[in-house]
Amino acid sequence: MSSADQTPPSLYAKREPIFPRRVKGSFRTMKWWLLFLMLGIYYVIPWIRWDRGPDMPDQAVLLDLANRRFFFFMIEIWPHEFYFVAGLLIMAGIGLFLFTSALGRVWCGYACPQTVWTDLFIQVERWIEGDRNARLRLHRKPWDFEKIRKYGLKWTVWFLIGVATGGAWGFYFADAPTLFVDLFTGQAHFIAYMTVLILTMTTFLFGGFFREQICIYACPWPRIQAAMMDEDTLTIDYRHWRGEPRGKLKKGQLDPNQGDCIDCMACVNVCPMGIDIRNGQQMECITCGLCIDACDEVMDRIGKPRGLIGYMALSDQEAEQAGKPQKSVWKHIFRPRTVLYTTLWAGIGIALIVALFIRADLDMSVAPVRNPTHVVLSDGTVRNVYDIRLRNMHNEPRQFELSITENPDLSLSIEGEPGTQVTVGADEQTLLRVYLTAPPGTTSNTADTSPVRIWASIASSTERVYSDTVFNGRNQ
Amino acid sequence: MADNSDNKVKPPERQYPDPAAKLKKDPPTTGHSWDGIEEYDNPMPRWWVWIFIITIVWSLGYWVAYPAWPGIQRATSGVLGYSSRADVAAEISEFEARNEQFFVQLVETDLDGIHDDDELQRFAVNAGASVFRAQCSQCHGTGGAGVQAAGFPNLLNDEWLWGGTMEDIHETIRYGIRNEDYADARWSEMPAFGRDGILSEEEIDETVHFVLSLSDADHDADLAAAGAEHYEMNCASCHGDGGEGDYFIGAPALNTQVWLYGGSYDAIFESIYYSRFGVMPGFAGRLRDAEIRAVAAYVHQLGGGQ
């Protein structure tokens, strides 16, 4: 057909609203458990208390941006240890690669906040308006009291969930009980209210109205995932060789010439993305598994084996069509690629844990002052200045002792301190101006540069750290 | 496939689905095909267009509300009267207000007592450092090392012309050196022994050797012995018998390793022949009392404070 005798379709399309039908089954049950688990974690974690002593916050998980500290139960991360966070992010990335190469868009289908909150919002909609057909009827109906009442109630509940979502986010960044009271008494910071407002609105709009459009138009991750799947990746598909040719049941019986698909549209009606899985894997599919539940239920009812729609890999399809059995799930999951991802993931994880346990809870950074490189004193002594930052990553104040090795010529003193000891408060840091001096007649006094190692140790424990630097002599 | 032999992409022919078809099929394609890969021609979601329109409307409102269009002298100011410069000014004055209590405290605290108050000392050092960079670093250097060739003293060592206690440093900063604006200014005067004919070049040569001997530098012992006499007659009254100097009159010590204008024979010869001295402005009228005290505290903790 030629295009000349047709009017081109509109460049813009209105969204077709989707009214997923209720479904029962193992995937649905698992998704409910995951939803409770993940929302539970999200809402409860900021309220867990963790005693760290009198000078420290007692919140188990706290991202204290103002004081630049990150608390996670017994672990405390300082800004200079941010590589832990970077490591966790890399692990999260590799974890996603692993799950995507093994199980396709499993993140999208079960764990993504967009999916979880949309699931919750659809359930709210179902409670208030009824199942698919009732919702469809209400949607097509002109505005009347019932529609206003039900829509109003639905939007109110959505909005309250949004407020709870946005509010809970803030609790990760401040003391939760204090912020909770402050939010309700109007004493919280403007930024806190803005955060709650923005996250309330994103939750409300994304979960209530945008839904599948976020996945289709806004999110880059599905597109990246598509590129990471291969022919061994397990994903949801329709066994067309078993189901086709599809046809309705006639007098409650299947025609022996027809396939198992009775074209009941159950898989289409439950789909939160509004697609027909029988067209094969497609861009919109988040692999939530609900069509599997819906189809299995129907297969049970018409006395056919389950699995007309199910998890399978592309490589299985040809084998299965040829009558051979499907490869086991474990063979799909344990492949060189997934083993490589797992090894990388675990390697970084182990390295981080080891780093976490061997790190000292004190730290020192030494910055030689090089303006000027050295100073000659009246008796000919040469002096170098170092800006030394001591960090006491401990919940009690401790006394630090500075000392030097590797260079017997030099002696150390601290500006404004009578000795070489200094007390640093609990979980605090201090910046010291430290002098190293080489008396006249010593090698370090006249040499260009000479090496020196500066130690910071703690009197009350065996912990100590060092930093290597150089001392500039008068010929520098 | 389109014929791309002339290296130009021909506008492809679009394919549209049959509107009579009831079943939802594949969306239309743009007609492009690259190595057999075709491009769907899906319609855009309508709300995207709405967002685009809303941003345009928003920008119209923004032009009215906020500074937007550049003019010859200045941009249109906007009905809300917003100015990022005013924001900065407000932020600065907020900090200044917060610092004010420390400035008051600085003036009220005894000079030697500043160090005993950790918080005040920290404030004084930081405030002093900022004043130092703006007012002092041009001569004394950003690191306080001075410039020997120009006679700008090094503030990091333990040698002082006019004393290195908090009081001394504060006094020097306040009134300056050889500054006619203040009766209290530090004032030193050294005769130009050569130029004014007080000593002959030969005598100066001998004196230089004696001065070098005071700090155990290389010198000719015979000449130095001869120079000792000239030194005692002409120099000792200010620089002291052993070259120990005098803070009270700003006479530098000559028996140390620290030299204001250099410790070489030539440098010392020139100092005696022509005489040299530096000047420094007084900051009493330029800076607030608290700022002067802050700079004094900063300089005092650079390493030479007494």
Domain ranges for chain B: 100-187+280-300, 201-274
Q: Is A4 helix (H, G, I), strand (E, B) or coil?
A: coil
Closest-CA distance of chain B to residue A10, Å: 7
Q: What is the percent of chain B with per-residue pLDDT over 70, rounded to a whole number?
A: 92
How many Cβ atoms sit within 10 Å of the Cβ of residue A260?
18
DSSP string, A343-361: HHHHHHHHHHHHHHHH--S
Contact B257 A376 (CB under 8 A): yes
What's the confidence (pLDDT) of residue B301? 94
Contact B258 A372 (CB under 8 A): no
pLDDT higher than 80, residue B285 = yes
Closest-CA distance of chain A to residue B19, Å: 9
Contact A380 B43 (CB under 8 A): no
Provide the Cα torsion B101, B106, B108, B113; round to 10°: 130
Query: What pLDDT digit, counting tens, does each position of A213-228 carry?
Result: 999 989 999 999 988 9
What's the confidence (pLDDT) of residue B39? 84
What's the confidence (pLDDT) of residue A108? 94
Mean pLDDT of chain A: 91
Name, in order, each residue with C-beta under 8 angstroms of A104's C-beta and a sequence gap of 6 or more.
A225, A229, A233, A234, A235, A236, A287
Q: Please state, in angstroms and as integers, the Cα–Cα distance from residue A107 to each residue in A33, A437, B49, following that order.
A: 15, 61, 30
Structure tokens at A401: 């002792």
More confident residue, B20 or A258: A258
- Chain B, nearest residue to A440 by Cα: B257
pLDDT higher than 60, residue A5 = no
- Chain A, nearest residue to B27 by Cα: A9
Residue A54 confidence class, pLDDT cut points 50, 70, 90: confident
> What number is the average pLDDT over the span A299-319?
89
DSSP string, A404-460: EES-TT-EEEETT-SSSEEEE-TT-EEEEEEEEEE-TTSHHHHSSEEEEEEEEEETT
Rounded Cα distance between B2 and B13, Å, is 10
Tell which residue, B240, B242, B227, has the closest CA to residue B272.
B227
What's the confidence (pLDDT) of residue A272? 95
Rounded Cα distance between B204 and B229, Å, is 11
Q: Mark residue A278 as left, alpha or beta (left: phi above 0; alpha: psi -120 to 50; beta: remaining).
A: alpha
Query: Which residues of chain A make contact with B121, given a CB cutoff of 8 A?
Result: 416
pLDDT higher than 50, residue A178 = yes
User: Tokens 């910046």 — which residue?
Assistant: A431
pLDDT higher than 80, residue B21 = no
Closest-CA distance of chain B to residue A296, Å: 24
Residue A435 at interface with chain B, using a CB cutoff of 8 Å: yes
pLDDT higher than 80, residue A332 = yes
Residue B13 confidence class, pLDDT cut points 50, 70, 90: low
What's the confidence (pLDDT) of residue B234? 93
Rounded Cα distance between B202 and B222, Å, is 13
Q: Please state, in angstroms and as integers, the Cα–Cα distance from residue A232 to each residue in A93, A306, A318, A322, A338, following that order.
A: 20, 22, 12, 17, 11
CB of A217 within 8 A of CB of A292? no
Rounded Cα distance between B64 and B79, Å, is 6
Domains B100-187+280-300 and B201-274 share a fold: yes
Contact A15 B158 (CB under 8 A): no
- Chain B, nearest residue to A436 by Cα: B303
Query: What pLDDT digit, counting tens, does each position of B61-79 carry?
Result: 999 999 988 889 888 888 9
What's the confidence (pLDDT) of residue B22? 41
Q: Please state, in angstroms and as integers, the Cα–Cα distance from residue A364 to each residue in A65, A67, A193, A232, B302, following that order.
A: 22, 19, 38, 50, 21
What's the confidence (pLDDT) of residue A281? 84
Q: What is the percent of chain A with per-residue pLDDT over 90, rounded to a whole number?
A: 71
What's the confidence (pLDDT) of residue B10? 52
What does pTM read for this prediction?
A: 0.79
pLDDT higher than 60, residue B26 = yes
What's the confidence (pLDDT) of residue A7? 67
- A8, A371, A385: residue with CB nearest B14: A8
**What is the crossing angle of helices A83-103 and A221-228, to 10°?**
60
Strands A12-13 and B44-45: parallel
How many Cβ atoms sit within 10 Å of the Cβ of residue A350?
10
Closest-CA distance of chain A to residue B21, Å: 13
User: What is the CATH superfamily name and number for domain B201-274?
Assistant: Cytochrome c-like domain (1.10.760.10)
Rounded Cα distance between B86 and B81, Å, is 10
Any idea what DSSP says for residue A142?
A: P
Tell which residue, B197, B131, B223, B215, has the closest CA to residue A440.
B215
CB pairs under 8 A between A and B: 81
pLDDT higher than 70, residue B20 = no
- B19, B47, B258: residue with CB nearest A378: B258
> What number is the average pLDDT over the span B235-239?
94
Q: Which of A1, A377, A435 to mutate to test the interface with B (most CBs of B within 10 A)?
A: A377
What's the confidence (pLDDT) of residue B77? 87
What's the confidence (pLDDT) of residue B14? 54
Query: Which residues of chain A make contact with B48, given a CB cutoff of 8 A?
Result: 12, 217
> What number is the average pLDDT over the span A76-89?
91
Structure tokens at A346: 């675990």
Q: What is the percent of chain A with per-residue pLDDT over 70, rounded to a whole number?
A: 98
Mind spelling out the 3-state secondary structure of chain B?
CCCCCCCCCCCCCCCCCCCCCCCCCCCCEEEEEECCEEEECCCEEHHHHHHHHHHHHHHHHHHHHCCCCCCCCCCCCCCCCCCHHHHHHHHHHHHHHHHHHHHHHHHHCCHHHHHHCHHHHHHHHHHHHHHHHHHCHHHHCCCCCCEHHHCECCCCCCCCCCCCCHHHHHHHHHHCECCCCCCCCECCCCCCCCCCCCCCHHHHHHHHHHHHHHCCCCCCHHHHHHHHHHHHHHCHHHHCCCCCCEHHHCECCCCCCCCCCCCCHHHHHHHHHHCCCCCECCCCCCCCHHHHHHHHHHHHCCCCCC
Contact B43 A433 (CB under 8 A): no
Lowest mean pLDDT among A163-177, A244-258, B230-244: A244-258
Q: Which of A10, A273, A369, A378 to mutate to test the interface with B (most CBs of B within 10 A)?
A: A378
- Chain A, nearest residue to B121 by Cα: A416
CB of A88 within 8 A of CB of A95? no
pLDDT higher than 90, residue B269 = yes
What's the confidence (pLDDT) of residue B265? 94
Query: Which residues of chain B make contact with A280, given a CB cutoff of 8 A?
Result: none
Query: What pLDDT digit, counting tens, does each position of A375-385 carry?
Result: 999 999 999 99
Structural domains in chain A, CATH included, are 26-227 (no CATH), 234-327 (no CATH), 362-472 (2.60.40.10)
* B interface with A, Cβ–Cβ below 8 Å: 13-16, 18-19, 24, 28, 42-49, 115, 121, 141-143, 145, 154, 156-159, 253, 256-258, 301, 303
- Chain A, nearest residue to B31 by Cα: A3
Q: Please state, in angstroms and as integers, the Cα–Cα distance from residue A416 to each residue in A211, A363, B121, B122, B170, following that order.
A: 63, 21, 10, 11, 18
In this structure, which topology does domain B100-187+280-300 adopt according to CATH? Answer: Cytochrome Bc1 Complex; Chain D, domain 2 (1.10.760)
